[in-house]
Amino acid sequence: MPITNAEFAYRAAIFIALALTPLLVWQLFDVVLIVTGAVLVAVLMHVVAWPFRKIRLPRALALAIAALLLLVVIGGVFYLFGSGMGAELQEILRRAEAGQKQITELLQGSTFGNTVLSQAEESTFSLPELLGKVFRISASFLAGVAIAIVAGAFLAAEPELYREGLSLLLPRPQRGATNETIDYLAGALRLWTLGQLIEMALVGVMVGLAAWLVGLPSPYALGAIAGVTQFVPYVGPIVGMIPALLVATTVSWTALLWTIVAYLLIHQFDGYVIMPIIQRRMVSVPPALMLLSIVALGELFGATATVFAAPLTVLLYVLVTKLYVRDTLHEEVAVPGEADARPPP
């Protein structure tokens, strides 16, 4: 049966839109990152407000309390560790640079070491230079961070408004499924964020305590670095371990050995005990998929994309599982976030 001109134009428009979507994502990936940041801010506010919602407080009041608590925690961290943490970070940078020079001098004393150094000449790693680049580009992201925070607050205050607005863009028969998918996405991201916060806190405390027991300088800063880098699964812990190893090199080779043992034990305990417990109650994404997504997004869009690669992977995993595996292939599979799709009234 031949199709009408209107149907042909409609199908052609859909095809063109689908074909242009990857190009638009590529060109506007900074906007995608800001939107992801805004969603994470909204999710974080809802996670903190969750206990107050459980006792039937109005959502507006619960979110206001959550925002106040977040401000108090952030302000308290800056107040308690502001000057002291800044001094510790400076000490870590100084010792890391000294440790790097010490390792270079040691390698220069052997044929194998010289071979390693010659191969690494074009990609010399310098922690101070790396952190310097981070601080230099951070100012250019200030506007994006501010937009993400404000937009996240609006999303947290009226999530139904934006969910219904998005569903109105689709034909009426598809709106129910669209709203359900959005609820699944929100539930999965909420569970993932809660799990990451728990894991970051536990790893940060364990690393700080281990650094103190080993006798490394600035243990609080090393614990903070380990906790923050834990936000990026698999890759972050490796990055967070480098400053501790360089600092330990300036103390003694015994301290370096104990630091390696401590980090290995902590991350083994995290991988085999903490993560399975968290993922059993939160959201589990196949490890290989998560790792490859982080590497791919980092290669394509840079370090900032690496930071947001994990939540983006969670969202894509839910979309594929819900829309393709369950709704298209009609396979009976569990969708991450399904059980937590609806917040309490």
What does the chain come to in residues?
345
Which of 33 and 112 is assigned the larger pLDDT?
33
Question: Is 93 within the bounds of a domain?
Answer: yes
Question: Is 9 within the bounds of a domain?
Answer: yes
Give the pLDDT score at 136.
47
Closest CA to 282 of 221, 338, 244: 338
* Tens of pLDDT, residues 169-222: 777 887 788 888 888 888 888 888 888 889 999 999 999 999 999 988 878 888
3-state SS track over 246-297: HHHHHHCHHHHHHHHHHHHHHHHHHHHHHHHHHHHHCCCCCHHHHHHHHHHH
Question: Is 336 within the bounds of a domain?
Answer: no
Give the pLDDT score at 210.
93
Both ends of the chain: CA-CA distance in Å?
50
Question: Is 331 within the bounds of a domain?
Answer: no
Question: Is 340 within the bounds of a domain?
Answer: no
* Tens of pLDDT, residues 234-247: 888 888 888 888 88
Whether the per-residue pLDDT at 121 is higher than 60: the answer is: no
Residue 87's SS3 state is helix
260-to-106, 139, 231, 243, 341 alpha-carbon distances in Å: 19, 34, 21, 12, 41
* 53 Cβ neighbours under 8 A, 6+ residues apart: 59, 62, 343, 344
Question: Is 341 within the bounds of a domain?
Answer: no
- Domain hosting 196: range is 5-326
Highest mean pLDDT out of 122-126, 135-139, 290-294: 290-294
Helices (DSSP H) in the chain: which residue ranges?
Answer: 5-27, 29-54, 59-107, 111-119, 127-138, 142-157, 159-167, 172-214, 219-229, 235-251, 253-269, 275-281, 287-301, 303-319
Give the pLDDT score at 114.
60
Which of 189 and 139 is assigned the larger pLDDT?
189
The total number of structural domains that make up the chain: 1
CA distance 150 to 135: 23
Q: Each residue of 224-242: b (16+ CB within 10 Å) or e? A: bbbbebbbbbebbbebbbb
Give the pLDDT score at 273.
85
Residue 97: Cβ-neighbour burial (10 angstroms; 0-12, 13-18, 19+):
middle
Which of 51 and 97 is assigned the larger pLDDT?
51
Residue 29's SS3 state is helix
Give the pLDDT score at 340.
63
* 325 Cβ neighbours under 8 A, 6+ residues apart: 331, 333
pLDDT band of 344, cuts 50, 70, 90: very low
322 CB neighbour count, 10 Å cutoff = 22
pTM over 0.95: no
CA distance 262 to 215: 12
Closest CA to 267 of 286, 259, 194: 259
Closest CA to 186 of 230, 156, 222: 156
Give the pLDDT score at 329.
82
CA distance 189 to 129: 34
39 CB neighbour count, 10 Å cutoff = 22
Cβ proximity of 235 and 291 under 8 Å? yes
Question: Is 126 within the bounds of a domain?
Answer: yes
Which of 280 and 291 is assigned the larger pLDDT?
291
Question: Is 334 within the bounds of a domain?
Answer: no
Radius of gyration over every alpha carbon of the chain, rounded to an integer in angstroms? 24
CA distance 38 to 290: 21
pLDDT band of 135, cuts 50, 70, 90: very low
CA distance 272 to 241: 19
Give the pLDDT score at 265.
93
* Tens of pLDDT, residues 258-290: 999 999 999 889 888 888 888 777 777 888 888
Average pLDDT, the chain: 78
